[in-house]
Amino acid sequence: MKSITSAYDTPADGTVRGICSHDCPDSCVWEVKVEDGKAITLRGDPDHPITKGGLCAKVNPFLERVYSPERVLYPLRRVGKKGEGKFERVSWEQALTEVSNRLMSDIETYGASSILPYSFAGSQGLLQFASLDRRFFSLLRASRLDRGLCGETASAGISATQGNAKGIDPEDLRHSKFIVLWGTNTMVNNLHLWRTIQEAKNNGAKIVVIDPIRTRTAAVADWHIRPLPGTDAALALGMMHVIIQENLYDQAYVAAHTLGFEKLKERVADYAPPAAALMTGLSAEEIEEFARAYATISPAAIRVLIGMEHHEHGAMMFRTIACLPGLIGAWRDLGGGMTRSAFAYWGDALNLEALMRPDLEDETIRCFNMAKLGEVLTDKDLKPQIRSMIVYNCNPATITPNQSKVKEGLQNEDLFTVVLEQFITETARYADYVFPATTEVEHLDIVPSWGFLYIGLNKPAIAPLGEAVPNTEFFRRLAHSMNMSDPCLFDSDEQIIRDVLSGGHPWLDGINYEHLIEKGWARLRLPEGWRPFSDGGFTTISGKLEFYSQTLAEQGFDPLPVFKPSQESPAGDPELAARFPLTLITTKSMHFLNSSYVNMRRQRNSEGDPTLELHPEDARARDIQNGDVVRIFNDRGSYEIEARVTDRVRPGLVTVPFAWWSSLAPLGGSANLLTNDILSDWGGGAGFHDTLVDVATRP
C-alpha cells in the first residue's frame, strides 16, 4: 500500500543528520552515513554544542536495532491465544479493513467512547508523539487519555509556586557555585549535562546529590544526602526553617517578589531541624549544615528531574522545593535558581495548537488516567466498557503500575487491541493486530529537547524497511479506511512541521523549516545571560512567587508548603508497614531506555541480570545472602529475583530495576507487578515509589 500523503527523500549515499527521539533530556543529534541506501554508521554530531560527538551506551548501537531480524516489518494478525505472541502476516489492506470494521462496529454498538487510545513518550518526536493521532481520536470522539504518568506532576507542582515551570538554562549551571542534584541520577539519565556540572566543579562549585540511593552520580558528588523516600518536602521545609530563623534569606527579594512570607514563617516553625530529622531520617545537624551552605554559597542552583514525580504527594514536593530559590533570591544570579524541563519554553515558542488541534477535542467525553489502565480494563461496572484499544509509543504491559491488573485486562478476549510497534513487546504479545512502525532513521520528525534549549530536525536517512510506516502515516491510512474526511487528518509530515514552527514567537526568530533542513538544529533564541525571574515576573495570579497560594486553597489543597507521608508508607499506614516493612524504589537502567532495548541482546549482556538491592541489616534479618534468589512481594503481586546485599541503599529500602520485560527476565516477573497506581496529589502522576514490600528467601 502506498503512502497517502507522505514521501521520503532519502539519499542512496551520503551523510544525513538526525536526532534521537528517546524519552531523555539530552535529545542528541546524530549523523548517519548511508551507502547504497543502507545505514552503515551512526555517530553523535561532533559540531552540536550538547552532543559533541558522544552518544550514550543505549544509542551507540542503534543501527543494530534498526536492522534487527526481530523487527516487525509487516502487518501481523494474532493466531494464538492472547499473550502467546503468535501471529501471521497479512496485507495492509486486509489488516486495515478488519481493524476498521471492528472499530466501526464498536462505535455503532457501544459508542465511540468504548475505544481508548493509549500512548506515551516512546518517541518524543512531535509528529510521532502528538499530531495526527490526537486529531484522529478527537474527531472519532473516543475516550480521552490523561498522559500524566511522568512530567506533568513536576510541572504542576512548580507552577503552583511560580505560575509556570520555567527555570534557568541548564547550560548556565557552569556559572553555579553550589549545585543541588535533587532526585536525579545525572550521570546515567542526563549524561550530557554532566559535562557542564563537571566544568562548574572544576571552577570550584560544590556538588550535592539528594537521593535515598547511592547512585553513580551520588558516589562522585561532594556531598550525598540520603533522606527517606518521599520525605523531600520535609527536608526543604527544614531548610527553610533554618534559613528564616538565622536571617539567611534575601529580605529584599522576598519583600519585592514573593507572597505569603509571614504565613510561611509560621508553617516552618513546625519543621525545626530535630522535627525534620525525624521525618526524613537525616540528622538535625546535616539539615542545618545543608541549609546554611545553600543559603550562603552563590550562585546556588537546584536541578530536579524525575525522582520525586512518582509519589502520591509529588506535586507538593516540587511546589515546596520551588520555594527555596525565591527565599534566598537565587534567581538574581546567573547560574542561580532552579531548572527542570526546557519544555516550559517550547510550550510557549512552538505552535502546539496547530500540532495537536485541541479545538477538536470534546472535554465532556470521559477521560482516564493512564496509570489506572489495569483498573479501567477490568472494571465490570464501567459503562461502556473499553472494547477496543490502540497502543503506540508505549508498552503498558511493562511500564504501567499494578501490572497484574493491566495484564488481566489485556488477556480479556473481548478487548480488541491494536499495537503499532517495532518489536513484539510484552504488550504486543496480547495484540489482535500489530502494525510495523518505523525507527527514527526512517521517518521525518522534529524534536525539541526537554533537557536543553535546542531543537532538531530528524531527516530520514533510509527508506522504511519492509512495510513499516511512521505513526502519522498509520493514522492517515486508518482514517481513510474508516471513511473519515476531515482534511486535518491528511496533512503531510512536512506541513505539520512547518505549522509547528509558524507561531511567530521571537524565541524562534529565523528558526523555520528551511533553516533546520540546512543546519539540522538550532538553539532557542533566548537572550544571552537569560535569568527568568531575576526581577520577579512570575505568572501566578498575584504576579509573585507564592509561598501562600490562594489558587491551591480554592482547589482544596494546603495553600502552604507541607509534608504529608503517603498513604502507602511506614508513617502513612503502620499496619500495612508491619506486613510489608520495606519501601521499594524502582531504578532506571544504564543500558535500557525505560522498556526500550530490553529485547536487544547486546544491551542485556551489558546490563547484566536484574537484581534486588537491600541493605545488610535487612538481609541479616531475613537470612539472605548475597546472590540468593529471593521473593519480593506485596498484595499486588510477587516475583523472584537475585539479591544483592549492599549499602548503596539505606536500611528499610530496596530497589529493583524498572524496565525489564517479564518474558526476558531470567526468573520472570518485573517491578510493576508490585508498584502502586495511586494518583499524585495533582498533575496526574502515579505513586510508583510509594510501594511497600517484603523480601523472603525462596521456599
State the pLDDT at residue 10: 80
Same domain, 135 and 100: yes
**Of 491, 508, 528, the domain-final residue:** 491
Same domain, 547 and 662: no
Looking at residue 313, which CATH number applies to its domain?
3.40.228.10
Q: Please name which of 143, 145, 147, 139 lies closest in space to residue 361, comparing C-alpha atoms.
A: 139
The per-residue pLDDT for range 391-419, each reduced to its tens digit, is 999 999 999 999 999 999 999 999 999 99
Same domain, 179 and 109: no
State the pLDDT at residue 9: 73
Residue 32 inside a domain? The answer is no
Same domain, 229 and 325: yes
**3-class DSSP assignment, residue 194:** helix
State the pLDDT at residue 6: 58
Q: Please name which of 531, 536, 545 lies closest in space to residue 333, comparing C-alpha atoms.
A: 531
Domain count, the chain: 3
**3-class DSSP assignment, residue 68:** coil
State the pLDDT at residue 528: 87
Same domain, 689 and 589: yes
Same domain, 205 and 334: yes
Same domain, 136 and 157: no
Same domain, 225 and 118: no
Could you give the CA distance from residue 456 to residue 27 in angstroms, rounded to a whole number? 8
Residue 64 inside a domain? The answer is no
Distance of CA 661 to the CA centre of its chain: 18
Establish how many alpha carbons lie within 13 A of residue 230's alpha carbon, considering only the half-sphere containing its beta carbon.
25
Same domain, 117 and 80: yes
Could you give the CA distance from residue 511 to residue 525 in angstroms, rounded to a whole number? 9
State the pLDDT at residue 476: 98
Residue 640 inside a domain? The answer is yes
Residue 6 inside a domain? The answer is no
Residue 215 inside a domain? The answer is yes
Integer CA distances (angstroms), 496 to 444, 492, 647, in order: 11, 6, 51
pTM of the model: 0.96
Residue 3 inside a domain? The answer is no
Q: Which residues of the chain have pLDDT under 70?
A: 2, 4-8
Tell me the Ramachandran region of residue 694: left when phi exceeds 0, alpha when psi lies from -120 to 50, beta otherwise: beta
Residue 665 inside a domain? The answer is yes
Looking at residue 654, which CATH number applies to its domain?
2.40.40.20
Same domain, 168 and 143: no
C-alpha cell at 199: 566544568
Same domain, 303 and 160: yes
Range of the domain at 300: 153-344+542-554
The per-residue pLDDT for range 546-598, each reduced to its tens digit, is 999 999 999 999 999 999 999 999 999 999 999 999 999 999 998 998 999 99
Looking at residue 361, which CATH number applies to its domain?
3.40.50.740
Same domain, 107 and 242: no
Per DSSP, the residues of 91-156 read -HHHHHHHHHHHHHHHHHHH-GGGEEEEE-SS--SHHHHSSHHHHHHHHHTPPEEE--SSSHHHHH
Residue 19 inside a domain? The answer is no
